[in-house]
Chains A and B, each alone.
Chain A
Amino acid sequence: MSVPGVLGPALRARGLRKSFGARVALDGIDLEVPRGVFLTLVGPNGAGKTTLLKILAGLSRPSAGEVWVLGTDPRREGARLRARMGFISHEPYLYADLSAEENLRFFASLYGLRRAEERIDEVLARVDLASRRGDPVRAFSRGMTQRLAIARALLHDPELLLLDEPTTGLDDRAVGILVDLLGAIHDGARTLVLTTHRLDVGLRIADRVAVLAGGRVVHEADARSVDPSAFAPMYASLCGGVP
């Protein structure tokens, strides 16, 4: 686990608000994630999980409140912060007509990586796609695309990895592979934040779990000490019965 005080928390949000015109997506988020921790954010659809992640990634700006990522304000240190962060969305962030390794080669040069070919070999091996490296991404299944997306996000060995509903569209077997992969990536030095509306996945791999409902963090707990059968009904009531 991370040593508190060596470096500040990986993420800190205070009073974070985001509204889109009349619709309020985030209504005062207070959150702190120490380094090396794997946090799962669970919540019903529309709770604001994607919005929160986008703000943490620096893709969006909050309407109000403060956010620190790896010790800096994402609005300020832009490029250097993004070099230390990886983002996996439910969109693949891949070019369908290029092959797996062509995609990786592009992102490697976009990120200015030096030992590009080595890194590409390493990440492809890690997600078990080395045998399919020359195939166009268009031919990949959803599960394979997701693994390639993780490979892409790992190329630059980020300290912080944000994953937005990575289990979307995956069958149980693919989810299992994903969970194992994430478990292997979670090495104590890397901070991971994952959002999902699947409670079982959320509790299985994470260190901590937070429940997001109505644009607010309504509950936080240590994931390992939570009893899944007790948690589920509490989660359901927190979400007002919305799945």
Chain B
Amino acid sequence: MTETGSKVQDRMDLILSRLRTVAAPLAGLGLLLAAAAILRAPEEEAQGIVQKIFYAHVASAVSSYLSFFITCAASVLYLWKRDRAWDFLALASAEVGVVFCSAVLVSGPFWGKPIWGTWWTWDARLTSTLILWLVYVGYLLLRPFAGEGERGARFAAVVGIVGFVNIPLIHFSVKWLRTLHPKPIVLNAQGPQLPPEMMTTLYITLGAFTLLAITFIAVRAEIERLRDLASAMRRHATKGEAR
């Protein structure tokens, strides 16, 4: 076993590979189901067919929050236990989170232009998402510039934790600042305001996207792990030659 092996890493490899085998086909199935559900869902009166972007838009947002939560948890565990397995997981989740966040930022304008007439509005939700995107892009950019060894992992972990804990604050500060977004339909004080068929479609899409996020994270973490293993083996090889 190379220097990068550890009990935590082995256990995580096992869990992640099980997740991949299970979640990947389920995610594929889920996406098909979601697509069918979205097509079949009733059209909303005022907005027409464009409104159907809503399902993917909201599901992406939820998936990104889930991913960033995993990043935060993995960051805490990394700082505590210093096992690189947690760092790989944190990095993988952050990347996947940024991807889903980008999806929200891109789907928003495509939904908004037909309805509000402009590509971009500085309304609460989009603004919060943009800021969140910037926070985690910073997280990703930080690593290559951090210099040698595990510094990047350590600094990134700090940013990952502070960034996530900041999310509710960003949410509230921006929300109080602006309100142009359609009144929260799902996260409403009286409970979701959608008609039942739409709620079902939303749940299906949420489930599919969550499985997709988990699959992506599991794959990406494994890639990072393999990359690390490869460089460890290279080290051994060059040392062998030197002797």
A residues whose Cβ falls under 8 Å from a Cβ of B: 17, 19-24, 61, 63-64
Contacts and interface: CB of A to CB of B under 8 A. Distances in A.
Nearest to B84: A63
A63 B3 contact: yes
A238 to B, nearest CB: 15
Contact of B235 (A22, A61, A64): A22
A17 B235 CA distance: 14
Interface SS of A by simple majority: strand
Contacts of B181: none
Nearest to B152: A21
Nearest to A61: B82
Q: What size tier do the contact residues of chain B reach? A: 10 to 19
Contact of B231 (A21, A61, A63): A21
B239 interface: yes
Interface string B193-234: 000000000000000000000000000000000000001101
Given A17-B3, A63-B3, A64-B3, A22 B82 contact: no
B82 A24 contact: no
A24 B235 contact: yes
A19 B235 contact: yes
A24 B239 CA distance: 10
B148 interface: yes
21 contacts: A17-B3, A19-B3, A19-B149, A19-B235, A20-B148, A20-B149, A20-B150, A21-B148, A21-B149, A21-B231, A22-B231, A22-B232, A22-B234, A22-B235, A23-B148, A23-B235, A24-B235, A24-B239, A61-B82, A63-B3, A64-B3
Contacts of B235: 19, 22-24
A153 to B, nearest CB: 26
Contacts of B82: 61
B137 to A, nearest CB: 23
A22 B4 CA distance: 11
Contacts of A17: 3
B98 to A, nearest CB: 23
Count chain B CB atoms within 10 A of each CB in A20, A22, A23, A61 and give the residue with the most.
A22
A186 B10 CA distance: 48
A110 to B, nearest CB: 23
Nearest to A63: B3
Interface in B133-177: 148-150
Contacts of B232: 22
Leading 10 A-B pairs by shortest Cβ distance: A20-B149, A20-B148, A22-B231, A21-B149, A22-B235, A24-B235, A64-B3, A21-B148, A61-B82, A63-B3
Count chain B CB atoms within 10 A of each CB in A17, A20, A21, A61 and give the residue with the most.
A21
Contacts of A23: 148, 235
A26 to B, nearest CB: 11
B16 to A, nearest CB: 23
Nearest to B234: A22
Contacts of B231: 21-22
B242 to A, nearest CB: 9
B142 to A, nearest CB: 16
A21 to B, nearest CB: 5
A63 B231 CA distance: 15
A20 B3 CA distance: 12
A23 B148 CA distance: 9
Contacts of A22: 231-232, 234-235
A206 B150 CA distance: 34
Contacts of A24: 235, 239
Contacts of B239: 24
